[in-house]
């Protein structure tokens, strides 16, 4: 392994570490909601600057590597790494949104047991993990398999949006809480979108075929949740 | 001007063209809403693949330029161009969301005259234009001035979210329409976020000082609209 290759490996390592922080943030935000734990929700907010710093550090490292990339294929790998880090940073932002809504919801009686939201979270995080492994292990097939799963999360969001909307109509007293749950559902759906973006970049990187904007996007925009 | 510089200028030109398409998409989506014009809304959807192609084309051009960048500073400029194009592509996605909600809203009686939403749209698009000019004209100060304006749009979104929420409580029959208007408001707020992201990248590019994640982000997450 050349010195340059070992620097590239370090870039991948940093991304994996960043991804695990992003996952922790989402997991904690969801636990804060389900277990009604405000203290845990506040750690998500406090830890968010960690992800911000990762993004900046990965950018700097990427620029440094671009300056001396020996192969044209390295250039694309490095720019994909930058895009992945931007997506992970936004996953962190969604975790903060979830955590803040959780604190507000915890101050009121619980509307109903949370079943669908944890399922959406589990699916989205699994997509994120698979997309990242596909990047690091050079497995375009694995990345390709992530893309269609986005519509499962879209469907769950759409369904929950509908349920919450009729819940509002039946009992206007529930409106504020339903709106907050809709925001959380939409945040989880966006996490799946970020995982899908990463997966599409990985497919493109290793197969040099652009699948971005082919199938997933229109489902996304059809979503009544926005 | 060297051949390389003229290729860089072309990259900037492409970004400006892409930006004007993104602006047109948002403007049309808003006109479709205000003038209740379904046909216009459908053109936004149909034209969205134009922005997708721009993103792919700008990526390819950027990779090509990275491979032969004579100066380290060019590297950062090129990676910023790629990030800008990604943000513009997402502005287009928000325009599609607005256009689709407009079609649904046009099928029902209008809830109230649209005043705040066009104001938000005007502000967000102005931010986008300023951020882009700052990039092309190398004006970090102008880019820096864009960042605080994001909180004006956040405030408008928050205020509208509150108004629509009380509107729902008063008249549950309005709930579905109010939810769609909330989605549009949130989309406009996200367009301002994209403009802010671009502006922050431009400041960083020309002043080599990272203002991303400093001020704007936490306002954004405090937003009750998500």
Query: Which chain A residues have a beta carbon less than 8 Å from that of B72?
Result: 63, 67
Nearest alpha carbon to residue B127 among B189, B52, B47, B218 = B189
Higher pLDDT, A129 or A70: A129
Residue A30 is part of a domain; what is its CATH number? Answer: 1.20.58.220
Tokens 């020309």 belong to which residue?
Answer: B206
Interface size between A and B, measured as CB pairs under 8 A: 102
Q: Which of B75, B93, B172 sits opposite A172 (nearest CB)?
A: B172
Per residue in B42-74, pLDDT tens?
A: 999 999 999 999 999 999 999 999 988 878 788
Instruction: Give me the domain span that covers residue B105.
Output: 3-222
Residue ranges in chain B whose pLDDT is less than 50 = 215-226
Those residues of chain B whose CB sits closer than 8 Å to some CB in chain A are 45, 48-49, 52, 55-56, 59, 62-63, 66-67, 69, 72, 75-76, 79, 82-83, 86, 93, 96-97, 100, 165, 168-169, 172, 175-176, 179-180, 182-183, 186-187, 210, 212-213, 217, 220-222, 224-226
Domain count, chain B: 1
Interatomic CA distance for residues B77 and B85, integer angstroms: 12
Work out whether the CA dihedral A205, A210, A216, A217 comes out positive or negative. positive
DSSP A136: H
Rg (CA), chain B: 19
Interatomic CA distance for residues B132 and A85, integer angstroms: 23
pTM: 0.89
Query: What ipTM was predicted for this assembly?
Result: 0.86
Higher pLDDT, A107 or A3: A107
Region of residue A138 (phi > 0: left; psi between -120 and 50: alpha; otherwise: beta): left
- Mean pLDDT over A121-125 rounds to 98
Q: Compute φ and ψ for A220, nearest 5 degrees.
A: -55, -45
| pLDDT score at A214 | 57
Those residues with Cβ within 8 angstroms of residue A50's Cβ, 6 or more apart along the chain or in another chain = A21
Check CB contact under 8 Å for A100 and B168.
Answer: no
Least confident piece of the model among A32-46, A73-87, B97-111, B203-217: B203-217
Q: What is the 3-state secondary structure (H, E, C) of chain B?
A: CCHHHHHHHHHHHHHHHHHHHHHHHHHHHHHHHHCCCHHHHHHHHHHHHHHHHHHHHHHHHHHHHHHCCCCHHHHHHHHHHHHHHHHHHHHHHHHHHHHHHHHHHHCCCCCCCCCHHHHHHHHHHHHHHHHHHHHHCCCHHHHHHHHHHHHHHHHHHHHHHHHHHHHHHHCHHHHHHHHHHHHHHHHHHHHHHHHHHHHHHHHHHHHCCCCCCCCHHHHHHHCCCC
| pLDDT score at A143 | 97
Least confident piece of the model among A26-35, A69-78, A191-200, B190-199: A69-78
Check CB contact under 8 Å for B75 and A67.
Answer: yes
Check CB contact under 8 Å for B225 and A49.
Answer: no
- Cβ(A205)–Cβ(A119) under 8 Å? no
Report CA B65 to chain centroid distance, whole Å: 26
Question: B72, B74, B84, B179: best mutation site toward chain A, by most A Cβ within 10 Å?
Answer: B179
- Cβ(A48)–Cβ(A96) under 8 Å? yes
Interatomic CA distance for residues B43 and B26, integer angstroms: 11
Check CB contact under 8 Å for B213 and A93.
Answer: no
Burial A145-166 (b: 16+ CB within 10 A, else e): bbbebbbebbebbbebbebbbe
Tokens encoding B218: 């936490």
- Mean pLDDT over A93-122 rounds to 96
Burial A26-60 (b: 16+ CB within 10 A, else e): bbbbbbbbbeebeebbebbbebbeebbebbbebbe
Query: Which chain A residues have a beta carbon less than 8 Å from that of B187?
Result: 226
Nearest alpha carbon to residue A138 among A208, A62, A206 = A206
Check CB contact under 8 Å for B67 and A55.
Answer: no
Check CB contact under 8 Å for A66 and B86.
Answer: no
Interatomic CA distance for residues B186 and B157, integer angstroms: 7
Check CB contact under 8 Å for A72 and B67.
Answer: yes
Per residue in B71-84, pLDDT tens?
A: 878 899 999 999 99
Interatomic CA distance for residues A183 and A163, integer angstroms: 14
Interatomic CA distance for residues B212 and B153, integer angstroms: 18
Question: A179, A184, A198: best mutation site toward chain B, by most B Cβ within 10 Å?
Answer: A179
DSSP string, A30-58: HHHHHTT-HHHHHHHHHHHHHHHHHHHHH
Query: Which chain A residues have a beta carbon less than 8 Å from that of B181?
Result: none
User: B145: exposed, middle or buried (C-beta count within 10 Å: 0-12, 13-18, 19+)?
Assistant: middle
């Amino acid at each position: 392994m050349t010195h340059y290759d070992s620097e590239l490996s370090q870039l991948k390592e940093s991304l994996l570490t960043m991804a695990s922080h992003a996952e922790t943030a989402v997991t904690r935000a969801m636990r804060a909601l389900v277990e009604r734990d405000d203290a845990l929700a506040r750690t998500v907010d406090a830890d968010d600057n960690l992800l911000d710093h990762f993004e900046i550090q990965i950018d700097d490292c990427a620029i440094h590597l671009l300056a001396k990339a020996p192969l044209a294929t390295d250039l694309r790998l490095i720019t994909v790494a930058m895009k992945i880090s931007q997506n992970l940073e936004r996953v962190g932002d969604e975790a903060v949104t979830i955590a803040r809504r959780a604190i507000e919801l915890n101050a009121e009686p619980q509307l109903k047991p949370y079943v669908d939201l944890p399922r959406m979270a589990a699916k989205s995080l699994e997509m994120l993990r698979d997309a990242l492994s596909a990047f690091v292990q050079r497995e375009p097939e694995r990345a390709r398999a992530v893309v269609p799963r986005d519509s499962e999360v879209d469907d769950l969001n759409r369904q929950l949006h509908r349920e919450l909307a009729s819940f509002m109509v039946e009992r206007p007293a529930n409106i504020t809480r339903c709106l907050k749950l809709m925001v959380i559902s939409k945040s989880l759906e966006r996490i799946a979108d970020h995982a899908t973006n990463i997966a599409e970049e990985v497919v493109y990187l290793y197969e040099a075929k652009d699948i971005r904007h082919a199938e997933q996007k229109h489902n996304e925009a059809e979503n009544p949740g926005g």
